Structure 1
Amino acid sequence: MRKVITKTCALIMTVSMLFGMIFMSDSATTYSMAATKTVETPESSKNALTKYKKISEINNNTILGTDFTYYQQCLTWGKQYKDYMSQSVDNLFTYVKSQGINTISVKAAVNPTGDNAYLSLDNAIKTLKKAKAAGLQTNLVLLYSDEMTYAGTQKLPEGWTVKNAVDKAKDYTKEVVEELTKENAIPTIITIGNEVDWNFLGITEEGGWNGWVAMGDISAYLKDNGIKNAVSIAAPKEASVIKEIIDGKLKWTKADYDYIGVNLYPDDNTNTYVKELRDAVEECSEKKQLIVSSVKYARVNEEDTVNVYTQAENIYNLLSATIDKNNAGGIIYDDAVYTGSWNSLVDDDGDAQISLAIFAYAQGKQTDTSRDPYKYGDDTGLKSQKVTIRKVSKMTDSTIRGMDISSYIALKNAGVKYYDNNGKEESLLKVLSDNGVNYIRIRIWNDPYNENGETYGGGASDVENGLKIAKEAAKYNMKLLLCFHYSDFWAEPSVQNLPKAWKKDADNPQKLRLNVYNYTKETIKKFKEIGADIGMVQIGNEISRGMMGVMQSKNSSIWEEKSKIELVDSYINAGSKAVRECAPEALIALHLDTLYTGTYKKAMDVWERDDVDYDVLGASSYAFWSGDNMVNSLKKAGEYVASRGKLFTVLETSWLNSTEDADGTSNMISSTKVKKYKVGPQGQVDVLTDMYDAILSNDNGLGIFYWEGAGFL
């Protein structure tokens, strides 16, 4: 099998316990796969935020806000917003409200164009109206610029000058209020400026005095029109400096504001700083509410040191720092629904992140934070499902209960951990051995790396990684099947490419035979040197249409093209010779991708004619492709192989534990028309049980290898 089959790989405990229990059980057995494990990141998001209790003194006046400035832009990009389970939400505003949000904030520029067009007042009004319809409070931040403003950048709009900026700002505010009134979109709060650092409207002379005066006049105008207002300032270096702003600039200009907002760029000292800031504001005025008017925390970074859980904790702790008995506090989370941001509360696909729910938990309200486990790698619940396992009567100690775990080392290197039935972290090989697996299949690629040393993927199944698996398997007395692809990457029916190092010999069959012989012999020796118990060696992988670059012609069959198949058979014999010399006790297997006995006859006739040395015919047998008649086909295939005096095994099989998407790419198998088997752990059990019954019904039946049963592919 060339490409990974997303989620057809088995739940390890399902399949491994099946191998053990089919053999050991005397009667039908019901087994619960529930297991517990302690890890730093919650196994499931469902109850991950329950440790956060209601913040003392939080109340209805606390601002629990999210910035939606990018919302309209994201819609024009075709983004769709979804809940934690990756299901589309009909109304994003009512959804965030259900997660504890009470305020939606948007920013508006005077005449934004180009990349700043998302800051238009039209966009802001659209969003404000939707928020208002959902019963949410609203906040409009007027930037008094054609672009975003920051502490060091308060650029005036085109046509405004420092001399006329105050009058322009007052007139502009009135025009905005008139437009909002006309559109029935008057917000709960209007914030005057953004991140002002003694430089509102770009005015810096005399400590920006005329700018402060303008803020005072605008504040008074808004209050006269029944609109609460806020001022947004850059966080002063020292918290005590805010007293000078409140008791000095804002008091002297008679600014009639309700909230003083501080924009933050958090660090390790932020929460302590905010508490000091809160205390300083309370000393100046009991009537002014301090809020964090802009903040954001990463949920993704290049160092992988953050996630949605650290994001949630940071929000909770900051929100707590803004609140005490004298200050209702609150925060407005910036870029909350910006799908292109690593700091947002939605991902690139528009899926809500569970850190959003921290706003509900902060109020003592619990909400279901279960998220799509197939997208985020959370507990799928599969291990908790009970399965009924029926004994296979003809299974013996020598029956192959095998599993291909070729991606194991690559998965471990990626940080994947494995656990036993009790939730204890354990070696995968021990888990498998303890549950009845007695054979491990290891695929071998010659050189699965490009010129830069980067793996082609698929588990980087070179000899080095195979030896690492073999060492672990030897600890538990497990036999090995070495599966030689004689390629640098997947060899399958339609793709049988020569290794890079052998391509120079493509027209030299004698040299290629020597390459096969030497490579096979050297590799087997390496495995034997580490104490591997090599029970079987597979020469080639799914060679139904050719091998090592020799492929059947269009509308033909490799078995009917004498010159080609003789060449292929000579390569097989070169590999077989190496096996007989280095591992004489090992069985030699040849691998076809079908159960069709017509193909078996053609292949075995040719192999007999060409004196091909092998012991076992192995098949790929996947029920989701073979259909409901697979078991009967498997039995007939075994019977035919027995009639030709050879042993028979299934070298690859699997069944789906889910049809859900796990990685955002198309699944090779997303549904199945097979009616006999259910998708899920019970279906996996039933498929394997029936297959064992079929293959062991003939005396030549060796057993089964489950393909990539420990993978997360």
Structure 2
Amino acid sequence: MKNKKVTRTGILIFLWLFWITVSSGCSVAEPGPKSKEFAKGADIGWLQQMEATGYKFYDDKGQEQDCFQILKDHGINTIRLRTWVNPSNDPVSGHNGKDETVAMAVRAQKSGMRVMINFHYSDTWADPGKQKKPAAWEGHAFPQLLKDVYDYTYEVMSALKKAGVTPEWVQVGNETPGGMIYPEGSVANWPQLAQLINKGYDAIKAVNPSAKVILHLDQGNNNQRFRTWFDNATANGAKYDVIGLSYYPYWLPGNPDFKLSIDDLGKNMNDMINRYGKEVMVVEVGGEDTKPQNTYDMLVAVQQKVKAVTRGKGLGVIYWEPQGARSWSKYPLSAWGDDGKPTKAMDAFLVK
């Protein structure tokens, strides 16, 4: 009986010490890096239109090849797709409606790619310069706008699910430093903006609880911009899982070389993690197509910064329209040449 009593007492002391240690937080480790591989992505919202207009893609050897295969051969494992509510048929500023987005997502998944869906909540481009609500939502009172956001988000997510696609990440809004769905969702009225965000979040989780919801700002090197926005998001109860960043040295004042801002990008990502406890992801990046070596160097540096963030919370890097050759799109920041082949910049995604 004495030995049993001593043993029982020892166990109780051990449990008491363990509880003190855990409750004090001294030895509770934060979750480590996710087991899934680092996301190396391409936003290819133009691809369907490019193919429809007869654009041909060629691999490094000059052989005609499916664009998905070329991207895959250059290390891309993730596809990002935008979706617009009722877009026009304009080859550059249209398409990307629900049905086309679902079709591209199915194709991406069949190619072995992970999928990110980007809800712009507009009929065309939504970005820091414009966040125009869909024409069909014009004149709706705010309670109806909340329902519009939920119903549309739920509809697209359900269509993806029916097609067998499970997006790993979903954005509520695209580059929203000033808010979205103007004027009701402007940052001038954060309580309303947070409600709109949460309707998107709730609809996504209702269909796919495992999807990580991203809120996305531009100027990923601008810490004050991010602190101000996400402090307000937190204060107003906006729900999200991941902080998404755009990083385009080309668009910064004076078009400076990336070496002047890359450290600020890394510091900002670490600050976001420490301040809000969220994961981070560079969901848009791009460099000049006429400077492929510089763009290559920038992409390698960005990936290194994301991989090096604190507590393994850096999820990946996505190039915006790498295949969107200037000869077709007039866009200067693709990673494709006039010969229909990827430039050296794309080799950056092969770097371990």
- For normalisation by structure 1, the TM-score amounts to 0.39
Where does residue 123 of structure 1 map in the other structure? none
- Match status 1:645 vs 2:285: no
- Match status 1:514 vs 2:147: yes
Give the Cα–Cα distance (whole angstroms) in 2 for the partners of residues 641 and 611 of structure 1: 17
Where does residue 578 of structure 1 map in the other structure? 203
Q: CA RMSD in A?
A: 2.0
Where does residue 447 of structure 1 map in the other structure? 86
Superposed CA deviations along residues 357-397 of structure 1, whole A, max 9, x for unmatched, are xxxxxxxxxxxxxxxxxxxxxxxxxxxxxxxxxxxxx9996
Superposed CA deviations along residues 577-634 of structure 1, whole A, max 9, x for unmatched, are 0011111111100011123221222222222122211011111110123434221111
Q: Helix, strand or coil: the match of 1:472?
A: helix
Superposed CA deviations along residues 30-88 of structure 1, whole A, max 9, x for unmatched, are xxxxxxxxxxxxxxxxxxxxxxxxxxxxxxxxxxxxxxxxxxxxxxxxxxxxxxxxxxx
Instruction: Tell me by how many angstroms 1:422 deviates.
Output: 3.8
Q: Helix, strand or coil: the match of 1:471?
A: helix
Where does residue 632 of structure 1 map in the other structure? 263
Q: Helix, strand or coil: the match of 1:703?
A: strand
Instruction: Tell me by how many angstroms 1:455 deviates.
Output: 2.9
Instruction: Tell me by how many angstroms 1:423 deviates.
Output: 3.3
- Match status 1:687 vs 2:262: no
Question: What 5-or-longer segments of structure 2 have no aligned partner?
Answer: 1-32, 330-352
- Match status 1:710 vs 2:338: no
The one-letter code sitting in structure 2 at the alignment partner of 1:623 is P
Give the Cα–Cα distance (whole angstroms) in 2 for the partners of residues 416 and 529 of structure 1: 30
Give the Cα–Cα distance (whole angstroms) in 1 for the partners of residues 116 and 226 of structure 2: 22
Instruction: Tell me by how many angstroms 1:420 deviates.
Output: 2.9
Give the Cα–Cα distance (whole angstroms) in 2 for the partners of residues 435 and 397 of structure 1: 19
Q: Is the 8 A contact 2:117 2:169 kept in 1?
A: yes
Among candidates 73, 92, 98, match of residue 434 of structure 1: 73
Q: Which runs of structure 2 are paired with 1:79-158 in the superposition (5 Å)?
A: none
Q: Helix, strand or coil: the match of 1:589?
A: strand
The one-letter code sitting in structure 2 at the alignment partner of 1:682 is Q
Give the Cα–Cα distance (whole angstroms) in 1 for the partners of residues 86 and 232 of structure 2: 31
Where does residue 348 of structure 2 map in the other structure? none
Where does residue 193 of structure 2 map in the other structure? 568
Where does residue 23 of structure 1 map in the other structure? none
Q: Is the 8 A contact 1:456 1:489 kept in 2?
A: no
Q: Which runs of structure 2 are paired with 1:471-486 in the superposition (5 Å)?
A: 471-486=106-121
The one-letter code sitting in structure 1 at the alignment partner of 2:84 is W
Among candidates 244, 260, 272, match of residue 618 of structure 1: 244
Question: Of the two, which has the highest radius of gyration?
Answer: 1
Where does residue 217 of structure 2 map in the other structure? 592
Q: Helix, strand or coil: the match of 2:283?
A: strand
Q: Which runs of structure 2 are paired with 1:248-259 in the superposition (5 Å)?
A: none
Alpha carbons of 1:419 and 1:459: their partners in 2 closer, same or farther (altered >3 Å)? farther
Instruction: Tell me by how many angstroms 1:689 deviates.
Output: 0.3
Question: What 5-or-longer segments of structure 1 have no aligned partner?
Answer: 1-393, 553-557, 659-678
In percent, how many aligned pairs have the same letter?
30
The one-letter code sitting in structure 2 at the alignment partner of 1:632 is D
Give the Cα–Cα distance (whole angstroms) in 1 for the partners of residues 268 and 152 of structure 2: 32
Alpha carbons of 1:515 and 1:580: their partners in 2 closer, same or farther (altered >3 Å)? same
Alpha carbons of 1:706 and 1:500: their partners in 2 closer, same or farther (altered >3 Å)? same
Q: Helix, strand or coil: the match of 1:403?
A: strand
Q: Which runs of structure 2 are paired with 1:275-674 in the superposition (5 Å)?
A: 398-449=37-88, 454-455=89-90, 457-505=92-140, 508-550=141-183, 559=187, 561=188, 564-595=189-220, 596-626=222-252, 627=256, 628-643=259-274, 644-658=276-290
Q: How many residues get paired?
A: 285
The one-letter code sitting in structure 1 at the alignment partner of 2:260 is N
Q: Is the 8 A contact 2:117 2:170 kept in 1?
A: yes
Q: Is the 8 A contact 1:481 1:534 kept in 2?
A: yes
